Structure 1
């Protein structure tokens, strides 16, 4: 397949995914809808039975994010800076995908295919259906995708390079096991917000999206806020009440009750609004339903700390307090060129 052909197929995929918003709306111009629309609608509806965190709302949000990303203009802008070799033998790229949020590993798969290589995929047990269905749809667009997207259920073997995502513990295993192959090994990362106290309520409501989307399970979810020493939490909590219905979801509520109890038994001082807790803590990885906070003297001091801890940070959101800052409410809507861990996946794949 030629580069422009691959782009066209992913644009078609984006148009297919676009149909599956909060309401499923069939578009008669989308290719192969007669074969795939009803089946995918049923898969989405049943995702929560496969993974309790994959509610319909969370799955459709992920699908719309990808539908908005997979446009001709985005794909063109993403791939334009790179030089794609012609007639080179494709490499087999082993992919070990996470399953914390729906389709979290799709960008790696897309990057492998766009680079002209073969994706050999080990799926997470928590996200087994969505990517397989997408591969089936792409294969119907062009049968060559069946040779470019491969799934393995057993041990990942016979590959030229690997991209593996996991926890800090599994990363140590990955680094040892894949030490003789070109690799990208991803560890735990968290995202943070820097507040000054001058944010509007609308800013803070948008920040709530960064906190609560996917129940806080993603590395792009804000798990910690930095605040000035005189910060007044009143407006912050007023904004967070926009997300209060999250407590009616049993899995989230169970985590809220458990983590709150653990904090209280440890005599930690907490701020609590009955569906989230705030705990003063220098760490970054807060548990589900909790956000850590840390006071600062100056914004420059925060930026120095985050630079020193860069390997622990995925995103920074603020009102333009740093050049790498993401606007409030946008951390879960990355562009194609927003690479995980700031490692240029496409550049890595093109240089193997």
Structure 2
């Protein structure tokens, strides 16, 4: 077509970016994600990983985190000589036991990946699954009440082809198995250490008031959510039956959950041995399980502050010196949080960049 013929109807409009050109080339599909905003790739990754419902609750969890951290900061300031003595004791701790604790800490991510694989019937990519658990441990220490790990694993399972309901059901199955294993270990170790765990005594009036408040709150929450809860419970029960119909998936779910709890106990026991904590191994493991279970009730990122205070209190109440107890808690945090956190955030950014999350 000549230029004159082309100009009879006026100038040509600009080409439509969604249309096919004369050469047959098409633009990028509409599903291509938008570029990462200038606020930073890590911030955008974390914001993209939080579901809409959880995002509305972050402010409330953040307020609880701030209150707990302020209390812990006040206690640390008040008992600063004990904390400083714990740091000095950790600096001269047995390096061999610390290496054992580091190896056990690395094993926790493989155990978590095994349990997550056991919670679904579909086979997941092994390498990306382990990397996702490593990244989830880092995200869990940045967001309160397990929101980071839960949202990241949910996104990972959906990227692997599971629907949102199936992915949420798989997370519920994994969490249920982990809780059951932890309670079973506490009961078993409590039998081996009678009298170590003592239930606080409450007056009947206080206990009745607390139970009434909990029942009222549960009723207020359950009534409007009853249809949704019923569907969710039905879906989770369906997933549980499907997983337990396969012996390999059952072994992976319960074996991975048991290995995860046992390896975390091994990390703390190894650090306690490194700083020469004068308590038997069984008692140290039981105190760790009880303290970490109690600390999970407070909405702090990765139990930051709440777990430290609970562990230190449990050890000192059982007869351990305050400085040694502080050293054991600091060593456990060093191996499970502070050393893995930077590489975990790097793995998280790489997974999001490669669209694995």
Q: Check whether TM > 0.5.
A: no
Q: Determine which structure has more spread, i.e. the larger CA radius of gyration.
A: 2
**TM-score interval for Structure 1 and Structure 2 normalised by the shorter chain:** under 0.3
Q: Compute the TM-score of the two structures, normalised by the length of structure 1.
A: 0.26
Relative contact order, CA 8 A, sep 6+: which one is greater? 2
Give the number of the structure whose residues are more often helix, by fraction: 2
